């Protein structure tokens, strides 16, 4: 099950796991894109269920997941998320803050809370959370987004501790710059500004992150890839990026 599968990292994960023989539950808010991806993945031989809901909406999330009717989920990729804005903290937009916190933190928690009990019952499963290098340290204009990804790190660590007595594995993948729709969303549709983020550096792709997620899920059962920081070669940290 992959949340936020209509674009970027989630979509790439869907392709990678389908190619690797998994059946898929793909979720996001845009039904048409889910259906288009479903058709593509079905051609690869995957059985695909689409669930259209907003992870910020607790009741809608509960209702959508209840519809799975006990389907066993082997791997949950908590990927749905976003950054909004790059303003100084003292000038930030209240709605942007709420959307980031509600999606990246509370939405991830909600899905986790609803899916993990089944994994515990079966004593089998894997939760892969998409954190970020942004969770390692704040960068200019990124305080609230960075804080949500620091929260993802802590929430992931806490889940791993709470599941240590089970065979369920927990992974935090922390990408750096990945060229997806992320920056277009961050800059509220300003494509020119979004393009500038990836100028002068070869960024990661969604497929690069999907490779890491697939590796973590494919590791022998006694191996738990707890955390992975994945950066473009010319990125050294959240704020050190060498550009030609
Ligand atoms: P995209 O914008 O390309 O994809 C984001 C996905 O999340 C979309 O499928 C979107 O689907 C879904 N989504 C967003 N909000 C919600 C919501 N409220 N409910 C359900 N689904 C939602 O960005 P990325 O692929 O880059 O981002 C994926 C994850 O990776 C995010 O958590 C992001 O923070 C993280 N990340 C990204 C990096 C980057 O540089 N790109 C680096 C590090 C981490 P829809 O709009 O259809 O709902
Ligand atoms: C996304 C990567 O560096 O733009 O989490 O915050 S960054």
CB of 135 closer than 6 A to ligand 2? no
Residue 215: its pLDDT value, please? 98
The separation between CA 79 and the C-alpha centre of its own chain, rounded to angstroms, equals 2
Residues of the chain above pLDDT 70, percent: 100
CA of 238 from ligand 1 middle (Å) equals 18
Instruction: List, in sequence order, every beta strand (DSSP E) within 47-176.
Output: 48-52, 75-78, 126-130, 169-175
CA of 102 from ligand 2 middle (Å) equals 18
Q: What is the mean pLDDT of residues 62-89?
A: 96
Alpha helix ranges (H) inside the chain? 8-19, 31-43, 58-66, 94-100, 108-122, 143-162, 182-186, 191-196, 206-218
Task: Assign 70 a pLDDT band (cuts: 50, 70, 90).
Answer: confident
Q: What is the mean pLDDT of residues 20-39?
A: 98
Q: For residue 178, what are its two tokens? A: 């990945």
pLDDT tens digits, 163-211: 999 999 999 999 999 999 999 999 999 999 999 999 999 999 999 999 9
Q: What span, in angstroms and rounded, lies between the C-alpha atoms of 3 and 33?
A: 13
Residue 75 has pLDDT above 90, yes or no: yes
pLDDT tens digits, 114-156: 999 999 999 999 999 999 999 999 999 999 999 999 999 999 9
Average pLDDT score, the chain: 98
Residue 61: its pLDDT value, please? 98
Cβ atoms 120, 113 nearer than 8 A = no
Residues of the chain above pLDDT 90, percent: 98
Residue 48: its pLDDT value, please? 97
The closest alpha carbon to 227, from 122, 165, 149, belongs to: 149
Q: What span, in angstroms and rounded, lies between the C-alpha atoms of 205 and 46?
A: 23
Q: For residue 78, what are its two tokens? A: 């908590």
The closest alpha carbon to 95, from 106, 85, 104, belongs to: 85
User: Maximum Cα–Cα distance for the chain, whole Å?
Assistant: 52
Task: List all residues 6 or more positions away from 30 whose beta carbon is below 8 Å from its beta carbon.
Answer: 6, 52
Q: What is the DSSP letter of 90?
A: G
CA of 222 from ligand 1 middle (Å) equals 30
Distance linking the first and last C-alpha atoms of the chain: 39
Residue 69: its pLDDT value, please? 82
Ligand 2 nearest-atom number relative to CA 134: 6
**Ligand closest to the CA atom of residue 178:** 1
CB of 133 closer than 6 A to ligand 2? yes
Q: What span, in angstroms and rounded, lies between the C-alpha atoms of 147 and 138?
A: 8
Torsion of Cα atoms, 142 then 171 then 155 then 233, to 10°: -20
Q: What is the mean pLDDT of residues 42-65?
A: 97
Any catalytic annotation for residue 215?
A: no
Locus of tokens 């695909």: 48
């Amino acid at each position: 099950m992959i949340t936020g599968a209509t674009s970027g990292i989630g979509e790439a994960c869907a392709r990678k796991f389908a190619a690797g023989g998994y059946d898929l539950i793909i979720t996001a808010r845009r039904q048409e894109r889910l259906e288009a991806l479903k058709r593509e993945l079905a051609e690869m031989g995957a059985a695909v269920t689409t669930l259209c809901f907003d992870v910020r909406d607790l009741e809608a999330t509960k209702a959508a997941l209840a519809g799975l009717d006990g389907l066993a989920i082997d791997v949950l990729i908590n990927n749905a998320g976003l950054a909004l804005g790059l303003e100084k903290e003292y000038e930030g937009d209240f709605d942007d803050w709420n959307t980031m916190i509600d999606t990246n933190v509370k939405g991830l928690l909600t899905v986790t809370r609803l899916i993990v009990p089944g994994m515990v019952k079966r004593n089998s499963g894997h939760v892969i959370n998409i954190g970020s290098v942004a969770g390692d340290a704040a960068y200019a204009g990124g305080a609230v987004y960075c804080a949500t990804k620091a929260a993802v790190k802590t929430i992931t660590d806490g889940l791993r501790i709470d599941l240590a007595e089970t065979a369920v594995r927990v992974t935090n993948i922390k990408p750096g710059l990945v060229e997806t729709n992320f920056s277009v969303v961050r800059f509220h549709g300003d494509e020119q500004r979004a393009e500038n983020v990836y100028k002068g550096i070869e960024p990661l792709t969604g497929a690069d992150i999907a490779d890491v997620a697939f590796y973590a899920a494919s590791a022998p059962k006694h191996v738990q890839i707890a955390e992975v920081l994945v950066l473009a070669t010319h990125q050294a940290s959240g704020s050190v990026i060498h550009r030609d």
